[in-house]
Structure 1
Amino acid sequence: MDSSEFLIFLQDRASVREFRDFPLADDEIAYMLACARTAPTAGNLESWDLVLVTDPEQRAALAEAAHDQTQIVQAGAIFVVCSNYVRGMARFQERGILYALEDATIVCTYLMLAAHALHLQSCWTGSFDDEDVRTVLDLPPHLRPVALLAVGNGAKGGVSPERRPVDEHVHQDFW
Structure 2
Amino acid sequence: MNSSDFLDFISTRSSVRTYKSEPVSDEEINFIISCASKAPSAGNRESWDVIIVTDESVKEILCDCAFNQEHLIKAPVILAVCANYIRSMSQYGERGILYAVEDATIAATYMMLAAHSLRLQTCWTGAFDDEAVSETLGLLQHARPIALLAVGHGTLPEYRTERMPVSEHIHEETW
Asked whether the two chains share a fold, i.e. TM above 0.5, the reply is yes
Q: Give the Å deviation of 1:174.
A: 1.8
Percent identity over the alignment is 52
Q: Which runs of 5+ in 2 are unaligned?
A: none
Single out whichever of 160-169 and 90-99 deviates more from structure 2: 160-169
Q: Does 1:69 align with 2:53?
A: no
List aligned pairs for 1:33-52, cutoff 5 A: 33-52=33-52
Structure 1 runs (4+) deviating above 2 angstroms are none
Q: Deviations over 1:45-90 (max 9, x none)?
A: 0010110101111111111111111110000100000001101111
Output the CA distance in 2 between the equivalents of 1:127 and 1:76.
Answer: 19
Single out whichever of 102-111 and 25-34 deviates more from structure 2: 25-34
Output the CA distance in 2 between the equivalents of 1:88 and 1:21.
Answer: 38
Residue identity in the other structure for 1:45:
R
Output the CA distance in 1 between the equivalents of 2:152 and 2:6.
Answer: 22
Instruction: Return the TM-score normalized by structure 1.
Output: 0.97
Output the CA distance in 1 between the equivalents of 2:3 and 2:85.
Answer: 35
Asked if structure 2 preserves the Cα contact closer than 8 Å seen for 1:20 and 1:153, the reply is: yes
Q: Give the Å deviation of 1:21.
A: 2.4
Q: Give the Å deviation of 1:126.
A: 0.2
Q: Give the Å deviation of 1:42.
A: 0.3
Q: Give the Å deviation of 1:23.
A: 2.1
Which residue in 1 is equivalent to 2:156? 157
Output the CA distance in 1 between the equivalents of 2:56 and 2:128.
Answer: 18
Q: Give the Å deviation of 1:120.
A: 0.5
Which residue in 2 is equivalent to 1:109? 109
List aligned pairs for 1:25-174, cutoff 5 A: 25-154=25-154, 156-158=155-157, 159-174=159-174
Query: Secondary structure in 2 aligned to 1:160?
Result: coil
Output the CA distance in 2 between the equivalents of 1:40 and 1:127.
Answer: 25
Aligned residues: 174
Asked if structure 2 preserves the Cα contact closer than 8 Å seen for 1:78 and 1:149, the reply is: yes
Query: Secondary structure in 1 aligned to 2:153?
Result: strand
Structure 1 vs Structure 2 CA RMSD: 0.9
Asked if structure 2 preserves the Cα contact closer than 8 Å seen for 1:62 and 1:133, the reply is: yes
Output the CA distance in 1 between the equivalents of 2:67 and 2:23.
Answer: 23
Residue identity in the other structure for 2:156:
G
Q: Which runs of 5+ in 1 are unaligned?
A: none
